[in-house]
């Protein structure tokens, strides 16, 4: 059992709390049974650090290293305030940008800063059958431990593209897919979600048009720059006295509104 936080493998894993190290190593941390189970199912987990208690309940597939660690070493590796005794190291998937040109529904997070919101939105996009998610360069790191955990494993379920600017992402969405029909690019509707949007999200056409839904920062909404790049601004209608919705709640309503019909 590893009892020192200075152990070489513990140090290498703990370094993944920093986004720069995550990028350089192309690895990230996955905490807790649910997110770790999803990552193992996705075949991206290389190592699992577990306390003896947590390891007793754990089935780790062939090819994944299981390392027993003391409680204080696990605390050192875990980001959550109530770690559940296991932390894994996973390879960061490289999503194929081609999905942007061919997806029926792409969700773009532009400046979403809170990791809980970002992870929850990735989870909702997964549940509603979106084809991919983009976290633009101004958003929280998609592989920060809190995002991975809030996504409940969904960052390992669908393509998640990072490091693009909004302009690059939308340009890729509007491009002709490599395997497209000879008649040229299919129509794509780029919708920005905005409390003051002129269109109701429930009124947007749900036909064969590809849909790109752009969500902005939780406090400030879509930036002026982002507003200038979308085709239409749409709102989740509000009839009560609330001024606005939580961004992850608004995203859930809007994603399900455009991913339907459901009835």
List contacts with a second copy (CB under 8 A).
Answer: 34, 116, 120, 123-130, 150, 152-154, 157-158, 200, 202-203, 236-246, 248-253, 256-257, 259-263
Q: How many Å apart are CA 66 and CA 44, to the nearest integer?
A: 14
Residue 54, both tokens = 């947590």
The phi-psi region of residue 155 (left if phi > 0; otherwise alpha if psi is between -120 and 50; otherwise beta) is alpha
Q: Shortest Cβ distance from residue 24 to a second copy (Å)? A: 29
Query: Which residue intervals of the chain are DSSP H helices?
Result: 8-14, 19-25, 33-41, 52-56, 71-77, 98-102, 115-127, 145-150, 166-174, 224-229, 247-259
**Given the complex with a second copy, which of 29 and 252 has the nearer CB atom?**
252
Q: Shortest Cβ distance from residue 78 to a second copy (Å)? A: 18
Parallel/antiparallel/unpaired status of strands 45-50 and 65-68: parallel
**Given the complex with a second copy, which of 60 and 202 has the nearer CB atom?**
202
Q: Shortest Cβ distance from residue 251 to a second copy (Å)? A: 8
**Given the complex with a second copy, which of 187 and 237 has the nearer CB atom?**
237
Q: Shortest Cβ distance from residue 256 to a second copy (Å)? A: 5
Bridge partners (DSSP) of residue 192 are 214, 233
Position of tokens 């459901």? 262
Q: How many Å apart are CA 232 and CA 245, to the nearest integer?
A: 19
| Closest alpha carbon to 229 in 183, 194, 186, 255 | 194
Q: Shortest Cβ distance from residue 53 to a second copy (Å)? A: 19
**Given the complex with a second copy, which of 10 and 218 has the nearer CB atom?**
218
**Given the complex with a second copy, which of 43 and 185 has the nearer CB atom?**
43
| Closest alpha carbon to 229 in 122, 132, 111, 121 | 111
**Given the complex with a second copy, which of 97 and 195 has the nearer CB atom?**
195
Q: Shortest Cβ distance from residue 106 to a second copy (Å)? A: 13
**Given the complex with a second copy, which of 13 and 103 has the nearer CB atom?**
103
Half-sphere exposure of 221 toward its Cβ, with a 13 Å CA cutoff? 15
Residue 217, both tokens = 């920062």
Q: How many Å apart are CA 254 and CA 52, to the nearest integer?
A: 44
Q: Shortest Cβ distance from residue 132 to a second copy (Å)? A: 11
């Amino acid at each position: 059992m590893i009892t020192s936080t200075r152990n070489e493998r513990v140090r290498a894993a703990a370094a993944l709390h920093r986004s720069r190290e995550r990028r350089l190593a192309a690895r990230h941390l996955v905490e807790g049974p649910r997110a770790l189970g999803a990552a193992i199912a996705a075949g991206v987990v290389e190592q699992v650090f577990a306390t003896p208690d947590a390891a007793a309940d754990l089935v780790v597939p062939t090819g994944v290293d299981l390392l027993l660690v003391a409680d204080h070493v696990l605390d050192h590796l875990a980001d959550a305030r109530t770690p559940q005794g296991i932390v894994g190291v996973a390879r960061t998937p490289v999503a194929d940008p081609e999905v942007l040109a061919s997806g029926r529904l792409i969700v773009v997070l532009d400046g979403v800063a809170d990791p809980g919101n970002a992870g929850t939105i990735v989870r909702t996009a997964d549940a509603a059958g979106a084809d991919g998610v983009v976290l633009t360069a101004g958003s929280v790191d998609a592989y920060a431990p809190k995002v991975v955990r809030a996504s409940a494993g969904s960052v390992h379920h669908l393509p998640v593209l990072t490091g693009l600017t909004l302009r690059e992402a939308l340009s890729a969405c509007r491009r002709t897919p490599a395997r497209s029909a000879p008649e040229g690019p299919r129509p794509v509707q780029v919708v920005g979600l905005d409390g003051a949007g002129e269109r109701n999200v429930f009124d947007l056409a749900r036909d064969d048009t590809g849909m790109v839904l752009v969500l902005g920062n939780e406090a400030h909404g879509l930036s002026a720059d982002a507003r200038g790049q979308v085709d239409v601004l749409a709102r989740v209608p509000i009839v009560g006295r609330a001024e606005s919705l939580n961004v992850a709640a608004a995203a859930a309503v809007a994603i399900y509104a455009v991913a339907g019909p459901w009835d």
